[in-house]
Every structure is written in structure tokens, then in C-alpha cells.
Structure 1
């Protein structure tokens, strides 16, 4: 379990699990989200929410993990732009540490 700071003063945090991060990877939710300037603001957070809402409407009730990610993290009452920026940073670090974990075939003797 990871904690991201959700506000500038550090009084609000959001817990993020490996399952949440795997769901972000599964749907590529953060790919292309942040512009080339690297600034994460409320408009970027709204864009993510709209993208997720579209996914949920196209597959109603089919993915509990996506719904849990929404309830626990993205639509959390404490989530603000700074929290999303910290989530992006956490995801990049987590993704680098777990890049081979989602591909069990790679590196295994069976793949050769």
C-alpha cells in the first residue's frame, strides 16, 4: 500500500494499492494524459475523470477493479491536481519497478 499526498499542506493523503496501479496500467489511464509541459492541473484531473466515466459507461459493471480505483482514488473527495501529480509520479516509479511482473512469459525458461 502506498500513500500519496493529496494537498499542498500535506494534511490529506490517499492510499493507493498495487491493484489500483495495475488497473491504471491495464487501461493505460495515464498515457498521454499530461501535456508536454508536464503541468498537472484541475483540467487534467477532469480529463481523467471523463475518460474513466466513458470506460465505465461502455462496460457497465464489468470491471470491479476500475470501479474500485474510481471510488478509492480518482473520485476520492481529497483528490486534487497535486494528488494526481503525485499519483502520476508514483505510477511511473511503480511501473519501472514492475515492468516485467505483468509478462510472466518473458525471462522464463518456457519462453525460449
Structure 2
């Protein structure tokens, strides 16, 4: 379980699970999300919400993991642009750590 700060003053935070990060990876939710300026603001959060809504309507089958991500993280009352930035940074760090673990496993084999 990871904790991210959701506001600049540090008074609000949110718990992010390994399952949440796996869901972000599974659906590639952060790909093409941020434009060339690299600025994460409320419009980027709105774009993410619209992308997820579109995914939910177009996917047939089990989307429980995506719904859980929405309820627990994306549509959480504390999730604002600052929190999304922290979530993206956590995801990048998680991907790097996961990559290092996979590389070590391949080297041992």
C-alpha cells in the first residue's frame, strides 16, 4: 500500500494499492493523457475521467478493477490535479521498481 499527498499543504492524503497501479497499467490510463506542456491541471483530471467513462461503456465483461479504481482513487473527494500529479509520479516510480525486479529475475535465470 502506498500513500500519496493530495494537496499542496499536506493535510490530505490517499491510499493507493498495488491493484490500483496494476489497473492503471492494464488499461494504459496515463498514455497520451498529458499534452506537450507537461502541466497537470484539472482539465487533465477531467480528461482521465472521460477516458475511463468511455472505457467502461465500451468494454464487455468484468471491469470490477476499473470500477474499484474509480471509486477508491479517481472520483475520490480528495483527488484534484495535485493528487493526480502525485499518482502519476508514484506510478512512474512503481514501474521503474517493477522493471528492476523483472531485470534481476531474468539475470538470475
Could you tell me which residue of structure 1 aligns to residue 8 of structure 2? 8
Aligned to 2:96: 96
Cα root mean square deviation, aligned? 2.0
> 1:101: how far off?
6.4
Could you tell me which residue of structure 2 aligns to residue 62 of structure 1? 62
Number of aligned positions between the proteins: 107
Partner of 2:31: 31
Q: TM-score, normalised by structure 1?
A: 0.86
Unaligned runs of 5+ in 2: none
Runs of 5+ unmatched residues, structure 1: none
C-alpha separation in 1, matches of 2:77 and 2:101: 31
Whole-angstrom distance in 1 between the partners of 2:101 and 2:30: 19
Q: 1:98 is paired with a residue of what secondary structure? A: helix
Runs of 4+ in 1 over 6 A off after TM superposition: none
